[in-house]
């Protein structure tokens, strides 16, 4: 991970910040703890790492403190994890450049992410990767884990084909070149808008975060044809629904859970990790959880869920199984 100033923050510092945060969550008064004061003042990176961890804590407090979370007596999550980028030289091969582009590494509100300036390109992300692509027109696309897109720009058109996964689009205005997103389920047209397209589950889901998204007839054969900001539409549905309050938070590497089913939360976590979580009993699937969890911290997720729901867990190799407490 890096600070805003660009200096490297080793995982060891992040881990230490996480340990201090855990103590803070447990009620410790760090302001009067000489060990903490010595640690945080020893290196500017210590303070940067700790402040970043606290921001995630505040996010989870906001989610868990909502009425639905309080009514269900749902606990908050731990918020720190190692921010491994998984961007070793070999991983750069997942972006196959068709045209001419310039690559760089940058930090956009999260782990190191790959950025590119490209006219035509195919991008894929591997397990656990969240990647940012900056296009030549100023538009920005954030690719979720396990996703694939193809970008095709000409002097008169802008087109992005999404084959799988999920993508967040922040579209730069261009009245002469509509921004078209083509999915297996239909076509969208946007200009100067922000929206998500998800093919993770069936049916495909579009969420407008800013501005209006035009829906092609193949995606929305019935009304509506426009999706206003703050709303979502699944293919085949006749009417829009309010976008979830957590919409768009996945770009920060966070699962923002607001009383969602445990089965759904586990499926989301498993998409980002080689370590897989399993439920030993089908009845566990319907339990509800709230909180903010880092996608790439399956162990932290399991520990918090176990404590919150009164479960036990056991790990064998790359499988962690959740059990009913005996």
202 in the same domain as 104: yes
Crossing angle of helices 11-25 and 44-64, rounded to 10°: 50
Looking at 195, 219, 242, the residue that finishes a domain is 242
Ranking 17-21, 227-231, 301-305, 314-318 by mean pLDDT, the lowest is 17-21
186 in the same domain as 97: yes
CA 47 to mean position of chain CA atoms: 25
Distance CA 305, CA 277 (A): 11
How far the first Cα of the chain sits from its last, in Å, is: 41
With respect to residue 83, please indicate whether it lies within any of the assigned structural domains.
no
pLDDT (tens digit per residue) in 235-293: 877 788 898 877 888 998 999 888 899 999 999 999 999 999 999 999 999 999 998 89
Its pTM surpasses 0.85: no
- We report the CATH number of the domain holding residue 173 as 2.60.120.1440
With respect to residue 105, please indicate whether it lies within any of the assigned structural domains.
yes
With respect to residue 151, please indicate whether it lies within any of the assigned structural domains.
yes
Q: Is 14 helix (H, G, I), strand (E, B) or coil?
A: helix
With respect to residue 1, please indicate whether it lies within any of the assigned structural domains.
no
122 in the same domain as 19: no
Structural domain including 27 reads 11-71
For residue 86, what pLDDT is reported?
31
Is the sign of the CA dihedral 213, 219, 225, 229 positive or negative? negative
For residue 274, what pLDDT is reported?
93
For residue 80, what pLDDT is reported?
36
The candidate with the shortest Cα–Cα distance to 205, out of 188, 189, 192, is 188
pLDDT (tens digit per residue) in 39-69: 999 998 899 888 877 765 555 444 444 443 3
197 contacts 204 by C-beta, under 8 angstroms = yes
- Statement: residue 16 has pLDDT above 50: yes
Q: For residue 128, what is the DSSP state?
A: T
269 in the same domain as 300: yes
Element (H, E) at 232: strand 231-234
For residue 199, what pLDDT is reported?
93
In this prediction, residue 110 has a pLDDT band, given cuts at 50, 70 and 90, of very low
77 contacts 292 by C-beta, under 8 angstroms = yes
Instruction: Report the pLDDT averaged over residues 171-176.
Output: 90
Distance CA 103, CA 75 (A): 41
93 in the same domain as 36: no
């Amino acid at each position: 991970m890096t600070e805003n100033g660009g200096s490297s923050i080793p995982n060891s510092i992040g881990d230490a910040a996480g340990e201090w945060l855990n103590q803070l969550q447990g009620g410790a008064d760090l302001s009067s703890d000489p060990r903490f004061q010595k640690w945080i003042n020893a290196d500017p990176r210590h303070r940067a790492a700790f402040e970043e961890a606290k921001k995630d804590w505040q996010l989870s407090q906001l989610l868990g403190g909502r009425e639905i979370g309080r009514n269900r007596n749902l606990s908050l999550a731990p918020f720190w994890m190692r921010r491994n980028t998984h961007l070793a030289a070999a991983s750069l091969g997942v972006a196959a450049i068709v045209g001419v582009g310039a690559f760089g590494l940058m930090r956009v509100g999260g782990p190191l992410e790959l950025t590119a300036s490209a006219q035509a390109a195919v991008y894929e992300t591997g397990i656990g990767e969240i990647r940012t692509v900056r296009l030549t027109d100023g538009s920005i696309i954030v690719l979720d884990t396990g996703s694939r897109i193809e970008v095709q720009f000409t002097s008169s058109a802008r087109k992005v084909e999404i084959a799988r996964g999920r993508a967040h689009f922040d579209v730069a205005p261009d009245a002469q070149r509509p921004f078209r997103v083509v999915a297996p389920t239909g076509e969208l047209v946007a200009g100067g808008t922000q929206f998500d397209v998800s093919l993770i589950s069936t049916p495909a889901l579009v969420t407008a975060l800013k501005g209006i998204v035009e829906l092609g007839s193949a995606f929305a054969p019935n009304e509506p044809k426009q999706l206003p900001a703050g709303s979502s539409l699944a293919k085949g549905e006749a009417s829009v629904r309010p976008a979830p309050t957590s919409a768009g938070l996945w770009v920060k590497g966070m699962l923002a859970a607001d009383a969602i089913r445990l089965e759904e939360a586990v499926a989301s976590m498993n998409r980002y990790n080689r370590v897989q979580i399993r439920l030993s009993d089908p009845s566990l699937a319907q339990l509800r959880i709230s909180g903010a969890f880092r996608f790439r911290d399956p162990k932290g997720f399991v520990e918090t869920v176990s404590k919150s729901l009164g479960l036990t867990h056991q790990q064998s190799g790359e499988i962690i199984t959740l059990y009913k407490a005996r």
